[in-house]
Amino acid sequence: MYDFEELSYTLVILSKLLSQSECSTMSNDEQNYIQIYLKAIISDLSSWRKSIFINKSAEDIHYLDKTLLSSIAQLQITLIPNDNSSEEEIEFF
């Protein structure tokens, strides 16, 4: 539906991000962090669906869009491998 285009876009980004991730190269802490974020995203989506379609209590159907995009951005930061070899040392004078 056109009304949910932005939400759909963020879910496509999340799907691509997860499908391109290598779990075998992640530390246990990173895997736990990702699991916590995914559970929060699923919980948010579930609550959003109930408030929009079941209870019909939401005043704005787009209230979740920015929150979801922010959560996905945080996941992206975690999932994109760091390239520490290109970092330069900071020199203080």
Burial group, residue 58, by CB count within 10 angstroms (0-12, 13-18, 19+):
middle
Q: How far apart are CA 89 and CA 93, in angstroms?
A: 13
In order along its 93 residues, the chain shows pLDDT tens digits of 788 888 888 889 889 988 988 888 888 998 998 999 899 899 999 989 998 899 999 889 898 888 888 888 888 888 876 655 444 555 554
Indicate the pTM of the whole model: 0.76
